[in-house]
């Protein structure tokens, strides 16, 4: 593996949803100064990089994924000076900064679009997609048609997401120049990487009905990110995740992206976004195994993740977020973060956050779930609809971080922009730290171990006991070093056939795996090095 790629195994990325991390100025919305004040906290988990969800100027119809100025900070988060302070402080603590790169669409309030929509002759008109009649019958991700009528030009414009998020026309070379300049602007400031939002959408083919993954996708990505001065810039794309497309985007000779998220294990246990289905952790295991093998065979980086701002909590769907919340949160972390790849921790995972339950739609903000609610209201009973929203809404993971168990949870002195998670009184950092079973302390130990042992970051991965159900056991090996990771799943069982070694980490009080017995969600890490 090329050096600039293999170095990525040393990254541990902590994803921040800035609105909900920490409010320093009492307006109920998290901000950059709040993040600066918690950099030591982030470092203490073992993270050495942060990914910030969009902090650019935006009307916030999709919480910042609708950008009206790519070169400015939204005042709700602070100023450019605050950002520069954040960057300098992060770097001084050994933390890299990864920004969100949202290039499929702008806000309808962006100058380009404000001009583009005024006349067919405006130089910015061709920065977007226009048609006299809708070219397709596509449904927008957040409800309704993807085509919206624009009175002044008598045309329709394309928006794959909200009406306020018009899709940018990447076939226009001027658009590509604009995005190259935007990347360069942030690189010149000193940022270390980009997480590229729905990047596969930037090439389309209307005639063939392709909303994404169009014929020029790879050429465009290479044009922006394949430039020599970006060699050491880390990139991770949100893009189609078939084996073929990951190879095409991340192959080391492609000069496109360093990595792409693979989300298929996060679809287990649900049908679509809002319907739960029966599941077993073994289904997740099988997908992870497949990707460990595929990425190893093709020398590709793999992203290790269970949560982000677009999903309800993994532990609530796949684990036991009640009686065994600590056990399943820590077992899942061990099973995922000790695989070979780049760990991404989403804020709140480290305290074992769980889904909320609200009885009124006013407790939600997410444009996607509100669109779904509006479409379904009256079609299914209200309580069932709310149960679906509680299960699937992206707001579950977007609620303000609970730093303590007080009424304002140490997040803000004002009313928060979105109600606190309904279990914040129980699930908050201060209380977690006071418990014998602290999810945070376990994360700390897990990442300290991963940081201390090169083999856990760079070593080869192989599965052990592949035929055994209800457990995930694997080895990491490098030279003479051998580490065994044992994660039991939902049910207690005895695993006598495992080699014996020195216990390095466990989430269970008794000697882990004593006599080969493992409790539900018990996990243990053993050093087998002779």
Binding site for ligand NOJ (CB under 6 A): 62, 65, 102, 161, 197-198, 238, 309-310
Please report how close the Cβ of residue 309 comes to ligand NOJ at its closest, in angstroms.
6
Residue 527 phi/psi, 5-degree rounding, is -90, 120
How far, in Å, CA of 361 to CA of 245, rounded?
Answer: 38
Closer to ligand NOJ by CB, 198 or 489: give it. Answer: 198
Residues comprising the chain, all counted: 530
Please report how close the Cβ of residue 216 comes to ligand NOJ at its closest, in angstroms.
20
Catalytic residue (choose from 74, 155, 238, 490): 238
Q: Which residues, other chains included, contact 518 with Cβ-Cβ below 8 Å and sequence gap of 6+?
A: 471, 486, 488, 492, 493, 494, 495, 512, 524
Please report how close the Cβ of residue 141 comes to ligand NOJ at its closest, in angstroms.
7
CA angle 511, 456, 502 (to 5 degrees): 25
How far, in Å, CA of 443 to CA of 326, rounded?
Answer: 11
Please report how close the Cβ of residue 238 comes to ligand NOJ at its closest, in angstroms.
6
Closer to ligand NOJ by CB, 307 or 327: give it. Answer: 307
Using alpha carbons, list the distances in angstroms from residue 340 to 303, 336, 463, 474.
9, 9, 12, 11
The answer to whether 404 is a known catalytic residue is no
Closer to ligand NOJ by CB, 8 or 369: give it. Answer: 369
Please report how close the Cβ of residue 62 comes to ligand NOJ at its closest, in angstroms.
5
How far, in Å, CA of 442 to CA of 458, rounded?
Answer: 22
How far, in Å, CA of 223 to CA of 304, rounded?
Answer: 27
Closest by Cα among 89, 75, 175 to 124: 175
The residue nearest ligand NOJ at its CB is 65
Say which DSSP state 501 is in: -
Q: Does residue 40 contact residue 93 with C-beta atoms inside 8 Å?
A: yes
Closer to ligand NOJ by CB, 224 or 338: give it. Answer: 224
Please report how close the Cβ of residue 161 comes to ligand NOJ at its closest, in angstroms.
5
Closer to ligand NOJ by CB, 62 or 350: give it. Answer: 62
Closer to ligand NOJ by CB, 164 or 352: give it. Answer: 164
Closer to ligand NOJ by CB, 62 or 321: give it. Answer: 62
Closer to ligand NOJ by CB, 157 or 161: give it. Answer: 161
Q: Does residue 478 contact residue 461 with C-beta atoms inside 8 Å?
A: no
Residue 454 phi/psi, 5-degree rounding, is -50, -40
Using alpha carbons, list the distances in angstroms from residue 495 to 24, 97, 137, 461, 507.
50, 42, 54, 20, 17
Please report how close the Cβ of residue 484 comes to ligand NOJ at its closest, in angstroms.
36
A 10 A CB-CB count for 240 gives: 18
The answer to whether 238 is a known catalytic residue is yes
Please report how close the Cβ of residue 102 comes to ligand NOJ at its closest, in angstroms.
6
State both tokens at 298.
Answer: 């093709």
Catalytic residue (choose from 197, 256, 321, 368): 197
Buried/exposed 309-327: b ≥16 CB within 10 Å, e otherwise: bbbbbbbbbbbbbeebbbb
Using alpha carbons, list the distances in angstroms from residue 234 to 6, 73, 103, 473.
11, 22, 17, 30
Q: Does residue 485 contact residue 456 with C-beta atoms inside 8 Å?
A: no
* Catalytic residue IDs: 197, 238
């Amino acid at each position: 593996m090329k050096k600039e790629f293999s170095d990525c195994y040393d990254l541990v990325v902590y994803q921040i949803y800035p609105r909900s991390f920490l409010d320093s100025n009492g307006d109920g919305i998290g901000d950059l100064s709040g993040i600066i004040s918690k950099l030591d906290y982030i470092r203490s988990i073992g993270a050495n990089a942060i990914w910030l969800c969009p902090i650019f100027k935006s009307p916030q119809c999709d919480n910042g994924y609708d950008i009206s100025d790519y070169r400015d900070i939204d005042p709700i988060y602070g100023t450019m000076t605050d950002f520069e302070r954040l960057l300098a402080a992060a770097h001084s603590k050994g933390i890299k900064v990864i920004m969100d790169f949202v290039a499929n669409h702008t806000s309808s309030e962006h100058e380009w679009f404000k001009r583009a929509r005024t006349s067919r002759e405006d130089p910015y008109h061709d920065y977007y997609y226009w048609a006299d009649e809708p070219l397709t019958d596509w449904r927008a991700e957040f409800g309704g048609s993807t085509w919206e009528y624009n009175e002044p030009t008598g045309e329709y414009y394309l928006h794959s997401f909200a009406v306020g998020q018009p899709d940018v026309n990447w076939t226009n070379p001027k658009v590509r120049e604009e995005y190259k300049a935007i990347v360069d602007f942030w690189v010149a400031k000193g940022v270390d990487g980009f997480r590229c939002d729905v990047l596969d959408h930037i090439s389309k083919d209307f005639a063939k009905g392709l909303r994404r993954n169009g014929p020029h996708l790879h050429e465009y990505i290479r044009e922006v990110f394949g430039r020599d001065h970006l060699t050491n810039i880390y990139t991770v794309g949100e893009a189609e995740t078939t084996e073929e497309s990951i190879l095409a985007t991340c192959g080391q000779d492609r000069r496109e992206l360093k990595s792409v998220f693979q989300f298929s294990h996060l679809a287990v246990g649900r049908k679509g976004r809002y319907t739960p289905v029966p599941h077993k952790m073994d289904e997740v295991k099988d997908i992870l195994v497949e990707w460990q093998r595929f990425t190893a065979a093709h020398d590709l980086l793999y992203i290790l993740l269970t949560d982000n701002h677009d999903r309800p909590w993994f532990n609530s769907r796949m684990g036991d977020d009640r009686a065994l919340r600590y056990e399943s949160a820590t077992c899942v972390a061990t099973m995922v973060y000790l695989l070979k790849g780049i760990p991404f921790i989403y804020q709140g995972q480290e305290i074992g956050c769980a889904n909320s339950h609200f009885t009124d739609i006013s407790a939600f903000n997410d444009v996607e779930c509100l669109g779904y609610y509006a479409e379904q209201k009256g079609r299914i009973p209200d309580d069932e609809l709310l149960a679906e929203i509680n299960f699937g809404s992206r707001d579950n993971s977007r609620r303000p971080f609970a730093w303590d168990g007080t009424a304002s949870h140490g997040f803000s002195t004002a009313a928060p922009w979105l109600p606190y998670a309904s279990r914040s009184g129980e699930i908050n950092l201060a209380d977690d730290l006071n418990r014998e079973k602290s999810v945070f302390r376990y994360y700390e130990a897990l990442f300290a171990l991963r940081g201390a042992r090169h083999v856990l970051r760079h070593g080869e991965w192989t599965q052990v006991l592949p035929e055994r159900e209800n457990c995930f056991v694997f080895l990491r090996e490098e030279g003479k070093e051998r580490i065994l990771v044992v994660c039991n799943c939902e049910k207690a069982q005895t695993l006598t056939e495992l080699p014996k070694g020195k216990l390095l980490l466990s989430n269970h009080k008794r000697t882990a795996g004593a006599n080969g017995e493992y409790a539900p969600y018990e996990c243990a890490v053993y050093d087998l090095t002779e």
